Structure 1
Amino acid sequence: MELRQLQTFLEVAKHKSITKAAEALHISQPALSKSIKALEEDLGMTLIVRTNKTSDLTDAGMVVVEYAQRMTALMDEMTTTLNDMTNLARGQINIGLPPFIGSLFFPKVMAEFHKTFPNIEINITEYGGARVVKSVEDGEFELGVVVLPVNEEDFNVFPIVEEEMKLLVHQDHEFASREQVDIKDLTEEEIIFYNEEFALHQILRTHFITAGFEPKILFKSSQWDFMSEMVAANLGITILPQSICNRIVNEEVKILGLKPNILWRLAVITKRGRYISYAGRTFIDFILKAKLFSQTT
């Protein structure tokens, strides 16, 4: 069994398709199938059930994925540590970033960072917040940007943004003349909500349940502009962070305060106990000191 076999197996598990994994790895499908078959023979177990359209993991396959992720993360960590020891002028950072957050804050941050550190390469993968947390824990990403809270026993947390969530209603809505609305008054409202991949889905749902009711969800989305446009079309109400509200120019949408106040807190996280590269530490220091986020809100 070789590390390369495990890496190719992880790619198949990720795509659930030998064809798509072969394309991503830039190797032929027969060569990839042969590699997976050899790995299965070495382990004496079937790892993948192949069908016409997908390649699904067996129970043994799921165990191998878990250990293969740990092994590849350790190899990446070793390479990074050795590179830092040689004081290379170049560096690389792998960051997990929810699309919601990326579109708001990071274009300017990345531009300023690249200008200051042109030899550090940044690889960004966009996932929902919950998946970013899991991927940092598994070692797929060195850094992740997430909505708090997270388990601080597992992660180092570097806060970067804290702002209020706001209620958006149509200008003809009965609440439109108010400055603030109690969350308990939303019992009968149809709400345009976040999908389950986003941390805000569970955060807001918890607030509703604490107020004594389940939200009446009309749509679920991962796009803030779609959510605000649905409000503008008078199809429901929604709740968005202040930074996003600052970008809404549609006069048919009214932005109101919420009671109790709900905070949207963002942070960079790293896995506790894992070595963080010089490039990664430089990036964290840069965004904490530059205060570029506060200029966006």
Structure 2
Amino acid sequence: MQLRNIEYVLGIAETGSFSQAAKRLYISQPALSQAIQRLEDELGAKLFIRKNKETSLTRAGELFVEDAKKILMLSEQIRKKMDDIRNVKEGEISVGISQYNGQIYFSNILIKYKKLYPNIKITILEDFSSVLERKLAMGELDFALFTAPVGAGDFLCDHLFFEEILLATPRDHPVADALAPSPGRFGSVRLSWFRDDAFVLMKPGHRFRAVTDALFRQAGIAPPVVFESRSSNTIQSFITGGIGIGFITTTGQRNTPPQWQSAYYHLEDVDARREHVIAHNRDGYLSHAARAFIGLAKEICADQFAYSGDETSPS
């Protein structure tokens, strides 16, 4: 059995199609079918069922795929270890980022890392967190930058920084008149005060929605939700426009255009922050180049986000 045969099986299992797998693997469909037939003959078991243009795994195929993923990961680890032995200053790393993380801090890390290790090849994948987690679990990424909570997966996470979550309301919300003047830009409120207010939130399944739902549970409230979106910019504009109230991170607030700025408040009765982490597979091999990147990321984030209060922005 050869590694390319394992890659063929995984390609078909992931796409659910011989034709789609053939395109991904840069092989003709007849050649792919023949390779799978030879492998099935060698194993003495059918791996796939092809019916009505659909392809599914047999029970033997499911077991094969389960171990095949581990084999490919081990193969990749061996290659990375050999790269490390040849030269610590050379090699390659693969990193996953979300669009949000790419905007607020990743470029700072990347610029400094490339200066320190100019001969390290860096492959960057920007995608949804769910996709990055799947790639990380498969061993296709060395590490990925996430906002917690990290989903199901056998990952180790290194803390990067905490980011405060603010409550955002229209400027004419009655709470503004009820608060005493604050020495900072933002006053402080209790989330429990807003149990009857209408909220605009990220859609279920979005990582930030999981965080804000947890805030409601901490406050012991279940307020009405009048709108859900996949865009934080849309939510901010709806809050400013008086559709409802919602949440925004301190970074998001600083990057909001002046015309969409609303009123913002610290939340004093809940743990209103979310954690940024850099995660890697518990069973994966981290090269010296990868470890150097993680160490640099922690150092830069600790410096960039070491601020407190309303008046100070990160350096």
Q: Which residue of 1 aligns with 2:305?
A: 294
Distance 2:239 2:216 in 1: 19
Q: 2:266 aligns with which of 244, 249, 257?
A: 257
SS of residue matched to 2:220:
coil
Distance 1:25 1:257, change over 3 A: same
Q: Map 1:196-211 onto structure 2 (within 5 A).
A: 196-211=204-219
Q: Which moved more, 1:23-32 or 1:90-99?
A: 23-32
Distance 1:228 1:30 in 2: 53
Distance 1:72 1:40 in 2: 19
SS of residue matched to 1:78:
helix
Q: Map 1:83-232 onto structure 2 (within 5 A).
A: 83-87=83-87, 89-133=89-133, 135-148=135-148, 154-175=154-175, 179-214=187-222, 216-232=224-240
SS of residue matched to 1:123:
strand
**Deviation, structure 1 residue 85:** 0.9
Distance 2:17 2:242 in 1: 42
SS of residue matched to 1:236:
coil
Distance 2:189 2:52 in 1: 53
Q: C-alpha deviations, 1:59-89, integer Å up to 9, x for none?
A: 5544433322211111000100011111164
Unaligned runs of 5+ in 1: none
Question: Does 1:242 find its partner at 2:250?
Answer: yes
Aligned residue type for 1:186: F
Q: Which residue of 2 aligns with 1:47?
A: 48
**Deviation, structure 1 residue 166:** 1.0
**Deviation, structure 1 residue 264:** 1.3
Identity of aligned residues (%): 24
Q: TM-score, normalised by structure 1?
A: 0.82
Q: C-alpha deviations, 1:206-229, integer Å up to 9, x for none?
A: 221233344544444443223323
Distance 2:23 2:226 in 1: 38
SS of residue matched to 1:248:
coil
Q: Which residue of 1 aligns with 2:310?
A: none
SS of residue matched to 1:124:
strand
Q: TM-score, normalised by structure 2?
A: 0.78
**Highest Rg: 1 or 2?**
2
Distance 1:274 1:188, change over 3 A: same
Distance 2:34 2:227 in 1: 45
Q: Which moved more, 1:103-112 or 1:80-89?
A: 103-112
Q: CA RMSD in A?
A: 3.2
Aligned length: 295
Distance 1:214 1:275, change over 3 A: same
Q: C-alpha deviations, 1:160-194, integer Å up to 9, x for none?
A: 12121112222343345552332223333343333
Does the 8 Å contact 1:91/1:278 carry over to 2? no
Q: Which residue of 2 aligns with 1:282?
A: 292
Q: Which moved more, 1:183-192 or 1:160-169?
A: 183-192
Does the 8 Å contact 1:129/1:197 carry over to 2? no
**Deviation, structure 1 residue 130:** 4.9
SS of residue matched to 2:305:
helix
**Deviation, structure 1 residue 248:** 0.6
Does the 8 Å contact 1:168/1:231 carry over to 2? yes
